[in-house]
């Protein structure tokens, strides 16, 4: 016989009993032997085994029996306890618990290293255009008056750069609708960035730093690469955490407000991943060559920025390299793209 506590389902009073199995019947009686009960064993619904907690036998009439976890024989309810016995076996062994902790940690690392970026990338490239437009506009509103101030470029300079920009992008097939906007920004400095709605923001400091129209277009081509790859949205989604991504995957459109808020913060203290920079650079080199512009213009733009702002080499301050890291490898790739461009131009004449 096994000691247990019996609750009849009608009152909170507990009765101490002894329980035993009699073939296909479950029987129990009070410890003073004043009363005895029995029910078919098949009508009893056992609880799952949880180490440290009483084992509960639920009866059909709403009553239940509580038995100490270790006292109930496994063969009383063999059909119900195969999985529970395995869990119970694992819970009793510290090695299994340690392995479980390791599995959880590795799974979480995998989620943030691979799962979250994968989900963010899929979401960013599948958002309806109307939502991207809304997010871009919200971001621009958040930036204006804080980081972005009215441009100080003269009307003639603005008109010239707008004409150069429009002529360039109109000749690039497959581009979405894009718009160039100039702003002054002492906080951001020499910078350019593409927002999800198709706006390309170009600061006055950067417009003054680029040495010529081709260098200006090299920066534009790079930003078009970021826009074509949805890089800003993907980067912000990745850094916004699992909650925004999970909310968007479940159809919670209100979580997009967090993404729009995250874009200004990204511009202040973050930067694109190395892969995104390489993708945008490659897009720029291809696009410049397609428009018959030597990709060396990209090198000229980067070198002009370094001359205008020597502090950028250290990556400090809210400047262009805060969101577009400058390094020798990028310049080397631009020079290599220039050599290929020159070789392709000379090839027909050498035949």
Residue 212 forms part of a structural domain: yes
Do both 52 and 131 map to the same domain?
A: no
Using the 3D structure, point to which of 42, 62, 91 is the last residue of a domain.
Answer: 91
Q: Tell me how far CA of residue 242 lies from CA of 72, 177, 232, 260, in angstroms.
A: 43, 31, 17, 16
Do both 57 and 142 map to the same domain?
A: no
Judged against a pLDDT cut of 90, whether residue 68 lies above it is answered with no
Do both 194 and 161 map to the same domain?
A: yes
Do both 142 and 228 map to the same domain?
A: yes
Do both 9 and 81 map to the same domain?
A: yes
Who wins on pLDDT, 113 or 211?
Answer: 211
Who wins on pLDDT, 20 or 308?
Answer: 20
Report the pLDDT averaged over residues 100-123.
78
- The neighbour count for residue 54, using CB atoms within 10 Å, is 15
Report the pLDDT averaged over residues 207-228.
94
Residue pair 72/103 in contact by the 8 Å Cβ criterion: no
Measure the CA–CA gap between 172 and 15, rounded to whole angstroms: 84
Residue 242 belongs to domain spanning: 111-350
Report the pLDDT averaged over residues 50-74.
82
Judged against a pLDDT cut of 90, whether residue 168 lies above it is answered with yes
Which candidate, 207, 192, 175, places its Cα nearest to that of 287?
175
Residue 104 forms part of a structural domain: no
Report the pLDDT averaged over residues 70-81.
67
Residue 240 forms part of a structural domain: yes
Lowest mean pLDDT, pick from 35-49, 128-142, 328-342? 128-142
Using the 3D structure, point to which of 91, 123, 157 is the last residue of a domain.
Answer: 91
Residue pair 262/239 in contact by the 8 Å Cβ criterion: yes
Q: Please, is 279 exposed, middle or buried when counting C-beta atoms within 10 Å of its C-beta (0-12, 13-18, 19+)? A: middle
Residue 248 forms part of a structural domain: yes
Report the pLDDT averaged over residues 270-298.
89
Residue 6 forms part of a structural domain: yes
Q: What is the mean pLDDT of the chain?
A: 80
Report the pLDDT averaged over residues 112-127.
74
Do both 213 and 69 map to the same domain?
A: no
Judged against a pLDDT cut of 60, whether residue 316 lies above it is answered with no
pLDDT at 167: 95
pLDDT at 319: 46
Who wins on pLDDT, 74 or 287?
Answer: 287
Highest mean pLDDT among 61-70, 244-253, 263-272: 61-70
Judged against a pLDDT cut of 60, whether residue 265 lies above it is answered with no
Do both 252 and 332 map to the same domain?
A: yes
Judged against a pLDDT cut of 50, whether residue 21 lies above it is answered with yes
- Chain length of the chain: 351
Do both 344 and 227 map to the same domain?
A: yes
* CATH number for the domain that contains residue 29: 2.30.29.30
Which candidate, 50, 4, 2, places its Cα nearest to that of 22?
2
* pLDDT category of residue 166 using cuts at 50, 70 and 90: very high
Report the pLDDT averaged over residues 240-248.
55
Do both 173 and 116 map to the same domain?
A: yes
Residue 103 forms part of a structural domain: no
Do both 118 and 69 map to the same domain?
A: no
Report the pLDDT averaged over residues 8-29.
89
Q: Taking the mean position of all CA atoms in its chain, how far away is CA 168? A: 33
Judged against a pLDDT cut of 90, whether residue 112 lies above it is answered with no
Measure the CA–CA gap between 331 and 204, rounded to whole angstroms: 23
pLDDT at 325: 56
**pTM greater than 0.75 (yes/no):** no
pLDDT at 335: 95
Residue 98 forms part of a structural domain: no
Domain count, the chain: 2
Residue 97 forms part of a structural domain: no
Do both 31 and 140 map to the same domain?
A: no
Do both 87 and 129 map to the same domain?
A: no
């Amino acid at each position: 016989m096994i000691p247990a506590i019996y609750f009849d389902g009608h009152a909170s009073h507990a009765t101490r009993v002894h329980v035993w199995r009699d073939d296909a019947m479950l029987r129990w009686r009070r410890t003073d032997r004043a009363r005895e009960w029995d029910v078919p064993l098949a009508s009893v619904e056992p609880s799952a085994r949880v180490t440290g907690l009483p084992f509960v036998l639920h009866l059909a009439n709403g009553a239940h029996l509580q038995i100490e976890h270790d006292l109930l024989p496994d063969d009383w309810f063999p059909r119900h306890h195969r999985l529970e016995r395995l869990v119970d076996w694992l819970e009793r062994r510290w090695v299994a618990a340690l392995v479980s902790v390791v599995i959880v940690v590795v799974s979480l690392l995998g989620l943030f290293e691979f799962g979250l970026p994968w989900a963010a990338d899929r979401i960013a490239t599948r958002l309806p255009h109307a939502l991207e437009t809304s997010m871009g506009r919200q971001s621009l509103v958040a930036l204006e008056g804080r980081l972005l101030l009215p441009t100080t470029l003269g009307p003639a300079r603005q008109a010239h750069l707008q004409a150069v920009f429009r002529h360039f992008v109109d000749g690039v097939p497959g581009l979405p609708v894009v718009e160039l906007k100039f702003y002054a920004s002492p906080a951001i400095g020499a910078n350019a960035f593409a927002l999800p709605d198709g706006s390309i923001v170009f600061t006055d400091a950067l417009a003054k730093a680029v040495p010529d129209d081709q260098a200006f277009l090299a920066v534009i081509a790079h930003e078009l690469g970021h826009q074509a790859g949805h890089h800003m949205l993907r980067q912000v989604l990745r850094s916004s955490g699992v909650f925004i991504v999970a909310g968007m995957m479940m159809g919670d459109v209100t979580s997009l407000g967090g993404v729009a808020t995250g874009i200004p913060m990204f511009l202040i203290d973050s930067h694109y991943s190395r892969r995104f920079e390489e993708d945008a650079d490659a897009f720029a080199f291809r696009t410049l060559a397609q428009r018959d512009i030597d990709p060396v213009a990209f090198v000229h733009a980067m070198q002009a920025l370094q001359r205008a702002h020597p502090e950028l080499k250290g990556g400090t301050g809210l400047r262009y390299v805060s969101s577009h890291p400058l390094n020798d490898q990028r310049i080397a790739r631009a020079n290599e793209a220039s050599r290929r461009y020159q070789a392709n131009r000379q090839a027909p004449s050498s035949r």
